[in-house]
């Protein structure tokens, strides 16, 4: 016990304050990108979501849930995107009473053009060691999953919740995980936050994989952390291929 224990605000609160400040930069960048595309941030977010869903598209309810907005707000944004020819509506093959929303070619082009190439956030993240970036990705995944379990956000297409995810089945410290869909090993730096091929695992399988993911997580030694290295090796972390979310 030190005097700072009494003087300090709870650590989760300070972390939230820090995330608020980072979020302010993200929001400013998003506003700039949306204005450049002649859209509102909500419209751009809806378009980005539908582009990521590809030919499968999504229903309006899924758009609202993903954006954490009311259905009327999502309806207004979708209507504006449709008027601009950025999305198209068609009958849902699974339910004739429902409508399926898909991004058009123009919508995909607009979404690509709106991507922030000169991002202050990405530049700041690039100053972290490769090992720190991987650790941060892991913590982001854990936080997103906790929010998902608390039903604070819509279900996400995370690798760790996929039926094809096999954590820590390989001895290679750089590529310990396995994707059964493509039958290939991959590393922590490759974990996706929004995988188009993700298939939600049954609860028992999902929980077992998550427990193993947490239990078998490698820990960096102080020396490895200072070098930005790979756990259990004397090698610096490889940059690895960049995967699109």
Assess whether 110 and 132 both reside in one domain: no
The tokens of 113 are what?
């053009």
Least confident piece of the model among 4-13, 145-154, 193-202, 221-230? 221-230
For residues 82 and 103, give the distance between their C-alpha atoms in angstroms, rounded to a whole number.
Answer: 9
Hey, is 160 helix, strand or coil?
helix
Structural domain contains residue 239: no
The answer on pLDDT for 223 being more than 60 is no
Residue 217: band (very low, low, confident or very high) from pLDDT cuts 50, 70, 90: low
The pLDDT mean for the chain works out to 88
Question: Same domain, yes or no, for 14 and 110?
Answer: yes
Percent of the chain with pLDDT over 90: 78
How far apart CA 153 and CA 146 sit, in angstroms, is 9
Question: What pLDDT does 233 receive?
Answer: 40
**Confidence class for position 216, pLDDT limits 50, 70, 90:** confident
Average pLDDT in the 178-192 region?
97
- Concatenating the DSSP letter of every residue in 218-237 gives ----HHHHHHTB-TTSSSBP
Helix 105-114, helix 11-36: angle, nearest 10: 120
List pLDDT tens digits, range 192-211: 999 999 999 999 999 999 99
Query: Do 157 and 106 sit in the same domain of this protein?
Result: no
| Rounded (10°) angle between helices 60-67 and 71-83 | 110
pLDDT, tens digit (0-9, with 9 covering 90-100), for 16-48: 999 999 999 999 999 999 999 999 999 999 999
Q: Is the predicted pLDDT of residue 225 greater than 80, yes or no?
A: no
Residue 1 lies in a domain: no
241 located within any domain: no
End-of-domain residue from the set 56, 88, 114: 114
Name which of 83-87, 134-138, 220-224 the model is least confident about.
220-224
Q: Residue 75: which CATH number?
A: 1.10.10.10
Distance in angstroms (rounded) separating the CA atoms of residues 35 and 57: 25
Least reliable range by pLDDT among 34-43, 83-92, 95-104, 229-238:
229-238
Question: What are the structure tokens assigned to 195, written together?
Answer: 């995988």
Residue 73 forms part of a structural domain? yes
Q: Which residue has the higher pLDDT, 230 or 44?
A: 44
**Structural domain contains residue 245:** no
Same domain, 82 and 161: no
Q: How many domains does the chain have?
A: 2
Question: Within this chain, do residues 142 and 72 fall inside the same structural domain, yes or no?
Answer: no
Among all chains, which residue has been given the structure tokens 């590393």?
187
* Predicted local confidence at residue 211, as pLDDT: 96
The percentage of the chain sitting over the pLDDT mark of 70, rounded to a whole number, equals: 87
Instruction: Specify if 231 maps to a domain.
Output: no
Residue ranges making up the domain that contains 20? 9-114
């Amino acid at each position: 016990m030190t005097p700072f224990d009494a003087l300090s605000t709870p650590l989760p609160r300070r972390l939230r304050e820090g995330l608020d400040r980072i979020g302010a930069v993200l929001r400013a960048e998003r506003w700039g990108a949306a204005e450049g595309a002649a859209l509102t941030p909500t419209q751009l977010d809806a378009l980005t979501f539908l582009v990521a869903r590809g030919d499968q598209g999504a229903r309006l309810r899924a758009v609202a849930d993903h954006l954490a907005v009311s259905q009327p707000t999502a309806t207004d944004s979708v209507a504006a995107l449709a008027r601009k020819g950025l999305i198209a509506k068609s009958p849902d093959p699974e339910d004739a009473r429902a409508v399926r929303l898909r991004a058009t070619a123009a919508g995909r082009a607009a979404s690509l053009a709106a991507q922030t190439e000169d991002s202050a956030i990405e530049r700041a993240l690039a100053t972290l060691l490769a090992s720190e970036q991987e650790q941060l990705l892991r913590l982001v995944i854990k936080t997103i999953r906790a929010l998902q379990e608390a039903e604070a956000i819509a279900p996400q297409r995370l690798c760790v919740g996929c039926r094809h995810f096999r954590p820590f089945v390989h001895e290679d410290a750089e590529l310990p995980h396995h994707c059964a869909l493509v039958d290939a090993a991959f590393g922590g730096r490759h974990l996706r936050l929004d995988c188009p091929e993700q298939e939600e695992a049954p609860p028992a399988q999902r929980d077992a994989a998550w427990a193993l993911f947490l239990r078998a997580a490698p820990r960096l030694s102080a020396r490895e952390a200072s070098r930005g290295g790979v756990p259990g090796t004397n090698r610096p972390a490889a940059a690895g291929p960049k995967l699109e979310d």
